[in-house]
Amino acid sequence: MNIFKQYFTIIFMLLATGLFSQEVLTGVSFNEAIKKQNKTNAEADRSRDEKDQVQLPFFDDFKNDYARPNPEHWKDIDVFINKDFPYFAPNAGAATFDALDSTGNVYSNAIWIPFEADKLTSSPIRLDSVFEPVTKALSPADSLYLSFYYQPQGYGDAPESWDTLLLEFSYLTGDTVFSHIDSVLVSANLYLENENDTIRPFDTIYAPPGCNEDLYLINFQTLTWDDWFMMPCDSIFVPEVDWKTQWKSEGMTLEEFQDQNGKDFVQIMIPVKDTLFFYDKFMFRFRNYASIANNNIPSWRSNADQWNVDYVYLNYNRSVADSTYRVLTFSGRAPSFLKTYQVMPYKQYRADAPNNVMKENLEMYISNLDKVEHNTKYMYSVQQVNGSFGYQYNGGSCNLMPFYVSGFQSCSTSCGKAHACPPVNSPFNFDYSRDTTSYIIKHYISDSSESNIIVDSVVYRQGFYNYFAYDDGTPELGYGLEPAGALLAYQFKLSVPDTLFGIQMYFNRVKDDANSQFFNINIWLDNNGKPGDLVAQIPSQQAMWEDGLYEFYPYLLEEPLILSGTFYVGWQQFEGGSLNIGFDANNDNRDKIFYKVGEAWYTSNFGGSLLIRPMFAPEMILSNAEITTKEKANIYPNPARTHFTIGNESIRQDHKATLMIYNIYGAVVKRMNGLNRQIDISQLATGMYIIKINSNGNIFNEKLLISR
């Protein structure tokens, strides 16, 4: 987000409402999904520059679930593969370009003027020849086209006009450039006179015969007879590659893009005509330029300027009219079966389902990317995880027109409604033996062909855990309040009384941790649809983060709080500047978001959901039948790394004492008897846990933080 745009936005908002400018939306400066893939895809990364050329056709629809580009197709790892940022993509997934580097952080050279950001470079492609059905050389006469869909902004931040997206083709200049030093494995015997001789640290060793005699290394180890080591051998030069721009687009808002094109995504067809490009290691790449706020507003220095790219296809024997695909596909994420929440406590679901909780119908976005009509079949299945409950819905058959003719499948006809707006045929089961449960919901679309059937599917996991969530877990943007003293409140409703024991929050990281100011976490009761009396507080907190993919940090109350009806959780900040809480732009719950910068509460002007989740104690942790003592178990150290000890002597002397460790979702992760020794927690992941001890007729509840 560029600073000029921000100043214009503030002025416009002041003129419009006088209050709207107190709220701000920014991008996110840290991508947990990319960070996680940095840890898990190291081998794939190392192989990207060593792989063989790929052959035509080249195609990627970015439907993988790995956050990074497929290493079989792409050399770079900068872009984010996801289903959340694109707005009605051609299929479920796209490559998002932004201001974040391959580690998931804002580029270190990011400034307020345009800087080169993400690259997506294809693997080397055999554009000199094809080998099936017969081997033949390729030339411009073979009508090669590269096509792709693109979209600015999506659900993210709009790139300014100078924040461009480019497509470039590679070509050989005819010169050579240095690539690397080639090394060989050498026996120390070659340099030693006998078995008693030694090569010592800091000795100079020259390249062996057959290598470049000018190359040498300074040895840093002790080498003896029969040892082997690597030696530099020769300088490797490779053909010099340069790039030519073939297409580019200036940045704009999604609304401007839609007004110009009458579409959410536009497909571009680029002919490959120049003979320069017809060689055996041809590559193409997309690049974007981005800009962020300047230092005057540090809490806004975060991710910005998103572009979404999808359906990249390069092949020969194409034409400019070759813009369709024999594909039936879903667009975006599969939906929740719940009216408002993505996740809710199972206890609250059982008390209020199905009429006030379950949707009557779903919204499915189904498209036919082919040039001809297809007779399609749609169904979904529901299956409880580790349970017996399940059912299927069969939507029957329906004729689906090509997307370029009619767009997504319509609910205007009876068969179209059965596919695009299917009913929720049954509530989930009421299993009173469980405190939490979940269901896997799979949606399928196919055609009626007897051979070479087209099939697509999307999956949703409907969770009933020990927290409420309006959000889907992915922050496309960041939300904050600017003035010191501002208050934020998020509304939730209980069907039956329940015990609040903490709040999960996900804060976006901001460059240089500019959102690390202190705030109080507040819990309010309701007052005629707005926050009322303050009933609890977690004082003097800061933005904290857990390891892992979009992991929320739990802020726990000192004492559990029994609540009923409508309540609010949020904060009061001590300093000016956005706290940059995660903001899910896909699920609009603005009527649940309240802010206060003066005397009155106002509902938010921004459509979305905050990544704030109130947590409720499972019944097995806090039971009304148990009397919880005010005495402490005195757990130490806390935070702990691999072990902790019970400091309370009476508990340690009680040979019948029992201990259970719960994670923040209420699952028991460890049980044991006899607590007069160190308790091993080395197998548990980092994070917050609840310790429940039963000793001498007393119940002790303690919080434990595992930090490594």
Strands 437-447 and 374-384, bridge-based pairing: antiparallel
Reduced DSSP (H G I as helix, E B as strand, rest coil) percent helix, strand, coil of the chain, to 5: 10, 40, 45
pLDDT of residue 628: 56
Alpha-carbon distance of 324 to 403, in angstroms, equals 9
pLDDT of residue 134: 87
Token couple for 524: 């309010």
Domains defined for the chain, CATH in brackets: 31-164+250-315 (2.60.120.260), 176-239 (no CATH), 337-464 (2.60.40), 477-616 (2.60.120), 635-706 (2.60.40.10)
The confidence score (pLDDT) of residue 20 equals 41
Q: Dump pLDDT digits (tens) for 104-126.
A: 777 888 778 899 999 999 999 99
- Give dist(CA 236, CA 182) in Å, integer: 6
pLDDT surpassing 90 at residue 456: yes
Kindly tell me if the per-residue pLDDT of 47 is higher than 70: no
Kindly give, in sequence order, each residue whose CB lies less than 8 Å from that of residue 452, ignoring residues fewer than 6 positions away.
none
CA distance 310 to 151: 9
- Lowest mean pLDDT of 103-112, 149-158, 436-445, name the range: 103-112
Tens digit of each residue's pLDDT (9 = 90 or more) over 598-633: 889 999 999 999 999 999 976 545 544 444 566 788
Structure tokens that stand for 497 in this block? 């009384």
User: For residue range 575-587, what is the model confidence (pLDDT) as tens digits?
Assistant: 888 898 999 999 9
Residue type, 512: D
| Residue range 299-319, pLDDT digits in tens | 566 678 999 999 999 999 999
Residue 480 in contact with residue 608, Cβ under 8 Å?
no
Mean per-residue pLDDT for 359-376?
95
Q: Which pLDDT belongs to residue 73?
A: 94
The answer to whether residue 37 scores a pLDDT higher than 80 is no
DSSP state of 260: H
Q: Quick one: tokens of 232?
A: 């530099």
**Long-range CB contacts for residues 216-225, cutoff 8 Å, separation at least 24:** 222/198, 223/188, 223/191, 223/198, 223/199, 224/188, 224/192, 224/195, 224/197, 224/198, 224/199, 225/188, 225/189, 225/192, 225/194, 225/195, 225/196, 225/197
* Cα-based distances in Å from 243 to 101, 125, 173, 309: 21, 15, 9, 20
Which pLDDT band holds residue 3 (cuts at 50, 70, 90)?
A: very low
pTM: 0.78
Q: Could you tell me the pLDDT band of residue 31, with boundaries at 50, 70 and 90?
A: low
pLDDT digits 0-9 by tens, 419-441: 999 999 999 999 888 888 999 99
Q: Are 476 and 583 spatial neighbours (Cβ–Cβ below 8 Å)?
A: yes
What span, in angstroms and rounded, lies between the C-alpha atoms of 332 and 481? 30
Apex 683 CA angle, 460 and 644, nearest 5: 125
